[in-house]
Structure 1
Amino acid sequence: MSPAGMSPTGMSPTGTNPASTGPAIELSGVNKSFGPAKIINGVDLTVPAGERHAIIGPNGAGKSTLFHLISGRFAPTSGTIRLEGRDITGWRPAAINRAGLARSFQVTNIFPKLSVWENVRCAVLRAMGHGPSFWRGVEGLPGVAERTEEILSRIRLGHRASVAAGLLAYADQRALEIGIAIASDAKVILLDEPMAGMSHSESEHATQLIREVTTGRTLLMVEHDMAVVFGLADRISVLVYGRIIATDTPARIRENRAVQEAYLGVATGEEAA
């Protein structure tokens, strides 16, 4: 389903992008059910442009499902999803990506047999509008090599450019995936548990990398590492049983009694006594 007068690619009938207005991401009354199971239950969420926003919650709260809805992998049962003012409800993932949103997944999603360079170059080629071609090579395409080198430098993998991606350490594979996500020049980045499986030192390195590459972009992140969340996010939303029970600054979320009881595991009242 696409907005009235719009194609599923996010372009107007004349082939031009409409002007974007409003927040970077806006969810209004979003629900998602799988048969009788209601996973997302009336979520309202607004993420201003340029904000780093984290979604936290216990296992099974619906965090990944919410990401799938925003990025187009699932269509909501009801409700509206907007990206920079455009109604993208029900759009396909490729169309949403072309409209300016990129995401990573819980499980690393790279081409393990291709080199680090080739992985990033594939993303750059797509972002620059170069599709498959049997009649010309990619080496001479203007700007591709330069853009690939720039991204590898930003994610600090320039020295591993010729290495097969599957041979990288886990933390470097996650960095590569972030590089692939930003190759499209997307203004909105979704990262699903980017620190999963990392050591403390690897998480610190990845946090700094995310802070650097998302400067000037909007970041929406699902993460279980509370040190990362409270150190990186401008605001935090807490999702419990498919509902957002609180959205606020990290300091206020930490002090919120409902959050303490539902997620952070802090006893209150008589239980504390």
Structure 2
Amino acid sequence: MNEARPVPAIELAGVRKSFGPMEIIRGVDLVVAPGERHAVIGPNGAGKSTLFHLISGHYRPDGGTIELRGEDIAGMPPQLINRRGLSRSFQVTNIFPRLSVWENVRCATLWAMGHKYAFWKGVERLDEVRRRTEEILTEIDLMDRADVPAGVLTYGEQRALEIGLTIAGSADVILLDEPTAGMSHAEVERVVALIRKVSENRTLLMIEHDMHVVFDLADRISVLVYGQVIASDTPERIKANAAVQQAYLGTEAA
């Protein structure tokens, strides 16, 4: 007797998206298992960021289904998807540069814990917010930078902070869009170690161009070319896939 397949953390079937006459996403099927680290790779212009916008609710698909743990979220507003446990980062660092590192994380924590603006409430009195902020800063290794304005952090530290904002709401499915782009080798090593740590007991879907990072982190890899997934498999099989090598990896991966 076959065992039932676990409900995927993310499942896309026949997803399509066009902008005017140009079809960017052309019938994408994608399955990300719970607890999996899954990378999406592909050449520039393949539609990777558009795919993330569709999953996170920033774009509405023209066709197909997008499910989060079996629930249809296609076209749902981003804030509602976030409340269902999915959070994402962006290619461009998205922080409050004039606020301290502590204040950045506390802002994200306040919203995630249901606290709205109320002038009669002193934010310093919210012990559960303070504890959660400390937990996140410890997890992303920025506790010793808590009082520093976020705008003066190194680029690698700013990306680490953005990862902290991504997990502030206790999301168990996180999307990271090119988390190591533009970093030095030392910064990449630090952020890869951070991603490995924060993705424990979470599902990770990431876009990444650095193949060393991809093959180091990912349990499975999907290759997107011209809006279609041409392969989805383990890193070892993706490396050996002739169609993938021809379309994207070239001889370097071999």
Smaller-chain TM-score bracket: over 0.9
Q: For residue 165 of structure 1, report the CA deviation from its aligned partner.
A: 0.4
Residues 231-242 of structure 1: matches in 2 within 5 Å?
231-242=216-227
Question: Does residue 59 of the first structure (1) align with residue 44 of the second (2)?
Answer: yes
SS of equivalent residue, structure 1 residue 143: helix
Question: Does residue 200 of the first structure (1) align with residue 185 of the second (2)?
Answer: yes
| Bigger Cα displacement from structure 2, 245-254 vs 142-151 | 142-151
> What RMSD in Å do the two structures reach over aligned CA positions?
1.0
Question: Does residue 85 of the first structure (1) align with residue 53 of the second (2)?
Answer: no
Query: Of the candidates 187, 195, 198, which is equivalent to residue 213 of structure 1?
Result: 198
Q: For residue 127 of structure 1, report the CA deviation from its aligned partner.
A: 1.1
Between Structure 1 and Structure 2, the one with more helix by share is: 2
* Correspondence for 1:45: 30
Counterparts of 2:77 and 2:225, CA distance in 1: 27
* Correspondence for 1:116: 101
Q: Which runs of 4+ in 1 moved over 6 A?
A: none
Query: Of the candidates 86, 90, 97, which is equivalent to residue 105 of structure 1?
Result: 90
Q: For residue 266 of structure 1, report the CA deviation from its aligned partner.
A: 3.0
Q: For residue 142 of structure 1, report the CA deviation from its aligned partner.
A: 3.0
Q: Kindly provide the amino acid, as one letter, of the partner of residue 208 in structure 1.
A: A
Counterparts of 2:234 and 2:43, CA distance in 1: 19
Residues 78-227 of structure 1: matches in 2 within 5 Å?
78-227=63-212
Unaligned runs of 5+ in 1: 1-20, 268-273
Q: For residue 47 of structure 1, report the CA deviation from its aligned partner.
A: 0.3
SS of equivalent residue, structure 1 residue 265: helix
Q: Kindly provide the amino acid, as one letter, of the partner of residue 182 in structure 1.
A: I
Q: For residue 146 of structure 1, report the CA deviation from its aligned partner.
A: 0.8
Q: Kindly provide the amino acid, as one letter, of the partner of residue 236 in structure 2.
A: A
If the length of structure 1 is used for normalisation, what is the TM-score?
A: 0.89
Once the two structures are aligned, what percentage of the paired residues are identical?
68
Counterparts of 2:20 and 2:119, CA distance in 1: 45
Question: Does residue 251 of the first structure (1) align with residue 251 of the second (2)?
Answer: no
Counterparts of 1:142 and 1:90, CA distance in 2: 36
Q: Kindly provide the amino acid, as one letter, of the partner of residue 24 in structure 2.
A: I
Q: Deviation digits for residues 173-228 of structure 1, max 9, x if unmatched?
A: 00000001111000100000000010111111100100001100000000000000
If the length of structure 2 is used for normalisation, what is the TM-score?
A: 0.96
